[in-house]
Structure 1
């Protein structure tokens, strides 16, 4: 199948498929006599694996490691589990950061009158930043 067909079947864009080839997550496609990329069923399986991994939030580097483990029939499932657990830890940190951001913004919104006056604690906080600059 050509890249357009592979894109439709995998749920990825043609651009992403070319990118995954360029960075080595996907083997370069074979080329037809006219120079068009052609993909096989195994390429679709690999693309589905990449897409699902990315949907779960794995970085491109982690996807590469997962692909290596997936192809290694001698690998220990403990290696896969360790990588997944590390990713869960990173997700939990990001969740904590997002909760903190939400709570901070919620506090600012709660203190904003939301009326016609120009005084706005949200903008005041943004202008004050993280204390990086002199207030003088």
Structure 2
């Protein structure tokens, strides 16, 4: 019997993260999309939601935010459907806010950043436990982004 030498979804996600960290976003996108395809067959749970969100994030980083709309919409729906942990939802709202900014939807971005900031603020104990610091980078980023968006 032949051994399966195809990478698993986890392998593809790890490769995508490494490529993204190295600045090769096209390779990261290809690997993340391949992982999404496998995860759709294997498990429509949290890993699929994360992978779809990362596809959207990478597309935004590549200045292809218009292509990311379907992925961010799907990711938010997947997170809601699996009753995701609060940090995952906050991160998804952050991704949606970054996407809204990238497509020029300032009002939508403000609303999403406010939502993300509220969610991150409720997680201050989590950040403190993770980092040993009282700083909350989610709140800090959302506050900075909201200030940059200003008011119209």
Q: Which TM-score applies when normalising by structure 1? A: 0.30
More helix by percentage: 2
Choose 1 or 2 for highest CA Rg. 1
Calculate the TM-score normalised by the size of structure 2: 0.28
